Structure 1
Amino acid sequence: MVRLTARTAAGPPARRGTAVLALAGAYFLLPLAASVVFTVDVPGEGLTTDAYRQLVSADGFLPSLLLSLGLAAATVALVLLLTVPAALAVRLGAPKLRPVLEVVCSLPLVVPPIALVAGVGTVLRWGPDHLADTPFFQTFAALQNPSFPVVLVIVYTVMSLPFVYRALDAGLRAVDVRTLVEAARSCGAGWPRAVASVVLPNLRGALLNAAFLTLALVLGEFTVARILGFQPFAVWIVNVSGTQARLSVAVSVISLLITWVLLLVLAFFGGRRSSSRTADTTATTATTATTDQERSA
């Protein structure tokens, strides 16, 4: 009777949750399905994939996509390299500086992207005119290399700071970092090994969330790249999509699917590493317990 009562009580909430998920799935998937049908069902021609073939074979598709992926990878690496040590240092050594770090990382939310790119463009124009006879001239030229514009990586890193910091801060709040580090140090591990082997594995979820947000920002950003005169995937999409209606919708579908696939790949590898490390930890714990029992015996 108790089990039946528990199941009956849990039934309506479960059904409501299923209904909410079904409505959410319909809300997101129906427009996407309608877009796909619009691109492949041509009146008078039947089902055809000409729009997608034209898109894939169009000039600039693969170079712009590879450029965006490279910019995303570099941005994720740079922003994590900046924020993770800063967040750990504040958490472990200087808790009073946490509001300062939070304000600094939140500043990009206050400054509009158009104002940020206007300042960056002014500096890029000022540099070659005043530093033509100095070694810094080559630095400005390298920052604006069209094959891989490092200036976009720097701007995207600044723009992604608020999202990455919030994700890392939430992960650090859920983990007792100080205890983990002290335990690792008491076992003879140095600071680099303690952070790499103990702290970072426990922040895997926060790091993945930060990478997700940064990847989505870089792949979808248009204003900064367009004003600075570069052509990553988002800018190429806008340039191509204005020619034909079906090609425009096909571009939107392809860009959305690419973003989803990349996020699923990151989630898959992150979950796989998590499960493998959990299995290793369980095996180590079991071995230790067996050894202790043998010693006691």
Structure 2
Amino acid sequence: MARLNLWRWAVLGAAALYFLVPLAASVVFTVDVPGQGVTFDAYGRILSTDGFVTGLLLSLELAAATIAVVLLLMVPAMVALRLGVPRLRPVVEIVCALPLVVPPIAFVAGIGTVLKWGPEQLSRTPLFQTFVALQNPDFPIVLVLAYVVMALPFVYRALDAGLRAIDVPTLVEAARSCGANWPQALVRAVLPNLRGALLNASFLTLALVLGEFTVAQLLGFQPFAVWIVNVSGSQAQLSVAVSVLSLLVTWLLLLALAGVGGRTRPTSRG
């Protein structure tokens, strides 16, 4: 037993060093200015830097839209899959895992080809304006569609784990026997028992959207991750300071998610 505890602490210590040493080095780089000593000017300049607020708000808007779309798409589909055709579960799992197999560079190349082909072939049809609206720089809907596809593997795993932990057929039958229709049964009986899974799926999607760079950069948009890379060429300390703060905020969101999920579990059992 003592050896097991020693091995456990050794693994935890190695993991802590793996994560904390680079983070500490990044913090030192942002506050140690040659010739000036320790200063926090890099953190003070974050809010006043051009493009920071715009890029962050754009990423948050894209994240909110992506979370809404992917949950509206996946939750009813997975509940229906579990109730009606469970034999198709392997097929749906493979389809949802495809974004992990296709490289992002190939994925964005396909999107770019479609976006170029559409206006050329549909310039005299009403669909031309649709392609223009998809690429609106103020809110690029094409990024939302791309992020929905990229988030499918993570959302599927989170929701699948949540659905496996509850008896969906019994919940739906109980709601239907009380006079609820199918949408009411889903909203009032199933979703309250999937709070933890929904929070996990939302957080994973949020982390994906905030950190995604390849698709947004190659399509010519500038959300938060692209802004960090662009500003690093001229203001390295500022970009690292923003990265450190975004990492800390992500950790805080994860802790808050764990706390909310822990409080909801006793309720779902009841």
Is this a same-fold pair by TM over 0.5? yes
Deviates more, 1:12-21 or 1:93-102: 12-21
2:190 to 199, 207, 215: 199
- Within the alignment, does 1:138 sit opposite 2:129 as a pair? yes
Contact 2:99 2:149 in 1 (8 A): yes
* Residue identity opposite 1:47 in structure 2: V
- Within the alignment, does 1:29 sit opposite 2:44 as a pair? no
Contact 2:62 2:209 in 1 (8 A): yes
1:167 and 1:39 mapped to 2: Cα distance?
A: 36
1:241 and 1:36 mapped to 2: Cα distance?
A: 15
Q: CA deviation at 1:100?
A: 2.2
* Residue identity opposite 2:166 in structure 1: V
The 3-state SS of whatever aligns with 1:203 is helix
> Percent identity, aligned pairs only?
71
* Residue identity opposite 1:184 in structure 2: A
- The TM-score normalised by the length of structure 1 is 0.83
Residue deviations 1:122-160 (CA, integer Å, cap 9, x gap): 111111122222211111111100011000000000011
- Within the alignment, does 1:45 sit opposite 2:36 as a pair? yes
Equivalent residue for 1:118? 109
Equivalent residue for 2:167? 176
Note the 1:79-228 alignment, pairs <5 A. Answer: 79-228=70-219
1:72 and 1:114 mapped to 2: Cα distance?
A: 21
2:61 and 2:253 mapped to 1: Cα distance?
A: 13
Computing the radius of gyration from Cα coordinates, the structure with the larger value is 1
1:73 and 1:277 mapped to 2: Cα distance?
A: 26
Q: CA deviation at 1:261?
A: 3.5
Contact 1:168 1:206 in 2 (8 A): yes
Q: CA deviation at 1:55?
A: 3.0
Alignment RMSD, CA only? Answer: 2.2
1:192 and 1:135 mapped to 2: Cα distance?
A: 34
Q: CA deviation at 1:88?
A: 0.6
2:233 and 2:34 mapped to 1: Cα distance?
A: 21
Contact 1:219 1:259 in 2 (8 A): no
Contact 2:200 2:257 in 1 (8 A): no
Q: CA deviation at 1:194?
A: 1.8
Residue deviations 1:186-221 (CA, integer Å, cap 9, x gap): 233322222112211222222122112111111111
Contact 1:41 1:47 in 2 (8 A): yes
1:271 and 1:130 mapped to 2: Cα distance?
A: 53
Q: CA deviation at 1:184?
A: 2.2
* Residue identity opposite 2:86 in structure 1: P
Equivalent residue for 1:290? none
CA 1:244–1:60 in 2, change beyond 3 Å: closer, same or farther? closer
Alignment length (residue pairs): 270
2:20 and 2:113 mapped to 1: Cα distance?
A: 43
The 3-state SS of whatever aligns with 2:95 is helix
2:32 and 2:257 mapped to 1: Cα distance?
A: 33
Q: CA deviation at 1:183?
A: 2.0
1:141 and 1:276 mapped to 2: Cα distance?
A: 48
1:171 and 1:269 mapped to 2: Cα distance?
A: 15
